[in-house]
């Protein structure tokens, strides 16, 4: 059992590492693009990606994990030929879904662009559409190989795809810029990098798949007889039964981003003007959403490494173990996400000044980054509900959250402008989290922090003040050195101090306690163990004072 647990955590960390590299590479691409695209180009780039990821999620999300589960089960039952037939069914579905989504995005691009009042985005959307022919196939191959416990294939393909996408996207964008093309055509060149990156990722996945097939031919020669063939109809029923709730649950983030890119300009034009609304859309999509996407990566990877243990405890009916693991998963996700959120939010002005062409929108970046704590809890609780066979409830909660996002955006935008739209995003994630936790508590009573909330809130307030104060002091260095150098040094100082003080305060305020350390994932144990002397010394001081 411990070997399986270690293997899963290793696989999770491989995928988390790949996701982190992909995020960093994506940020590396967005920074130079933001400088050359212009207001219209930035808005077109945001809209193209919003529409694309929405359809890509519909075409792929849930299918790889479902396929992985089905393939893994067949191999566990020593039925590899049936597993390969399931894989072939998945490939056929991916091919059809890819064509349908490609045609839909390509033909509807001008109409969507017109409705959202950024007609220039149609070119970028169409340039990105061919990627939908490729990525569903990649997702199916990835799910199959994960079912065979070959996690490295997905990680390598993701990194290669990002490297090629970023490189070709930037090269095309700068060539178009040098040739004097308009912002929307530069955005189209940048988005087309995803198509080339997808081709590179597909080649990587096909190479890994070929290796597996060669090995299978040696280990298990033979073909599936007609009598033994599992009907495709039965396969698709099983796939869709498992995957539809996962797909709709996974829609939360792409749907929110799609809503923002679709309604922001129509909502704000009457209050701030058409040009300013276009500019704000570029800031939200190319700056704020990119930076706010960093904190959830490690937090969710660490919490999800506990999900198989939760699933096993639920299957056994072990309520005590289930309670401890659900509590731990939620607590770990919050604790590991918060320091990065605090560092990025309090230093948002310096981060903005360091990376982008202007310092406009720093408060938008700060607010959206703060809201990601609810995104982290939403995604972690969604995973737990999947682990305890409540995927349908999670799907319903996401649907309610999306409705809250829409209503909140229309209600708050007239009052607070872009900050109302961002606040509605936080409300969406918070509502989903609350509904998820209510469902989880009906199955097993638990508390995320219990009596530790005062210590945790005190940690957040103190470090928010420290981070903001250091940022305000650091930006004064701009008076006697180049601005980007001052911003870089300020980011380093704020990040180092906030991240270093955070675990110290958690231990001193007994938010994290020595007797529970053994249950934490290994990376957290290594970090927190040396600090536990602070807790012992505090305890001993208390005892001596009582004496």
Alpha carbon distances (Å) from 393 to 26, 64, 355, 386, 409: 33, 21, 40, 9, 24
Q: Which of 31-45, 66-80, 156-170, 192-206 has maximum average pLDDT? A: 192-206
Q: Which are the contacts of 427, defined by CB distance < 8 A and separation ≥ 6?
A: 404, 405, 408
What does the pLDDT read at residue 459? 97
pTM above 0.95, yes or no: no
Residue pair 131/59 in contact by the 8 Å Cβ criterion: no
Q: Please indicate whether residue 320 or residue 65 has the higher confidence score (pLDDT).
A: 320
What does the pLDDT read at residue 546? 44
Question: How far does the chain reach from its first CA to its final CA, in angstroms?
Answer: 46
What does the pLDDT read at residue 474? 96
What does the pLDDT read at residue 179? 94
Residue pair 58/251 in contact by the 8 Å Cβ criterion: yes
How far is it, in rounded angstroms, from Cα 81 to Cα 228?
9
pLDDT at 547 over 80: no
What does the pLDDT read at residue 148? 83
Q: Please indicate whether residue 410 or residue 73 has the higher confidence score (pLDDT).
A: 410
Q: What is the pLDDT of residues 108-148, one digit of tens each?
A: 999 999 999 999 999 999 999 999 999 999 989 988 888 88
Q: What is the pLDDT of residues 150-197, one digit of tens each?
A: 878 877 888 888 889 989 999 999 999 999 999 899 999 999 999 999
Q: What is the pLDDT of residues 306-333, one digit of tens each?
A: 666 777 788 788 888 888 888 888 998 8
């Amino acid at each position: 059992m411990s070997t399986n647990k270690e293997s899963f955590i290793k696989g999770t960390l491989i995928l988390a590492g790949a996701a982190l590299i992909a995020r960093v590479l994506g940020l590396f691409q967005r920074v130079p693009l933001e400088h050359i695209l212009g207001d219209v180009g930035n808005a077109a780039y945001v809209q193209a990606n919003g529409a694309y990821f929405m359809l890509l999620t519909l075409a792929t999300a849930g299918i790889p994990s479902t396929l992985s589960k089905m393939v893994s089960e067949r191999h566990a039952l020593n039925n590899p030929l049936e597993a390969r037939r399931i894989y072939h069914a998945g490939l056929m579905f991916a091919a059809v879904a890819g064509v349908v989504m490609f045609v839909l995005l390509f033909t509807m691009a001008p109409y969507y662009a017109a409705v959202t009042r950024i007609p220039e985005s149609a070119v970028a959307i169409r340039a990105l559409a061919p990627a939908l022919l490729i990525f569903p196939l990649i997702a199916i191959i990835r799910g199959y190989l994960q079912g065979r416990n070959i996690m490295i294939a997905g990680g390598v393909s993701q990194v290669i795809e990002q490297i090629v996408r970023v490189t070709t996207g930037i090269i095309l964008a700068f060539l178009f810029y040098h040739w004097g093309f308009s912002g929307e055509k530069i955005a189209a060149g940048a988005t087309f990098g995803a198509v080339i990156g997808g081709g590179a990722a597909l080649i990587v996945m096909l190479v890994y798949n070929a290796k597996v097939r060669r090995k299978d031919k040696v280990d298990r020669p033979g073909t599936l007889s007609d009598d033994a063939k599992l009907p495709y109809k039965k396969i698709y029923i099983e796939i869709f039964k498992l995957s539809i709730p996962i797909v709709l649950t996974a829609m939360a983030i792409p749907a929110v981003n799609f809503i923002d890119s679709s309604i922001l300009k129509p909502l704000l034009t009457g209050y701030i003007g058409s040009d300013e609304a276009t500019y704000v859309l570029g800031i939200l999509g190319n700056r704020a959403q990119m930076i706010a996407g960093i904190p959830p990566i490690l937090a969710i990877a660490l919490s999800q490494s506990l999900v198989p243990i939760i699933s096993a405890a639920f299957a056994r009916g072990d309520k005590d173990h289930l309670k401890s693991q659900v509590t731990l998963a939620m607590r770990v996700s919050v604790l590991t996400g918060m320091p990065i959120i605090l560092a990025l939010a309090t230093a948002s002005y310096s981060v903005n000044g360091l990376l982008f062409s202007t310092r406009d929108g720093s408060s938008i970046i700060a607010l959206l980054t703060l809201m990601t704590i609810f995104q982290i809890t939403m995604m972690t609780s969604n995973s737990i509900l999947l682990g305890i066979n409540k995927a349908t409830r999670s799907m319903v909660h996401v649907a309610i959250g999306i409705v809250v996002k829409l209503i909140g955006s229309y209600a708050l935008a007239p009052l607070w402008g872009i900050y109302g739209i961002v606040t509605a995003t936080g409300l969406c994630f918070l509502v989903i989290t609350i509904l998820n936790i209510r469902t989880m508590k009906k199955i097993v009573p638990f508390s995320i922090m219990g009596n530790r909330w005062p210590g945790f809130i005190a940690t957040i307030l103190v470090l928010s003040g420290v981070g903001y104060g250091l940022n305000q002091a650091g930006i004064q260095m701009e008076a006697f050195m180049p601005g980007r150098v001052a911003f870089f040094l300020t980011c380093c100082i704020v990040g180092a101090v906030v991240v270093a003080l955070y675990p110290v305060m958690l231990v001193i305020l007994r938010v994290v306690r020595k007797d529970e350390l053994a249950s934490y994932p290994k990376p957290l144990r290594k970090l927190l163990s040396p600090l536990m002397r602070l807790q012992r010394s505090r305890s001993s001081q208390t005892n001596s004072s009582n004496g």
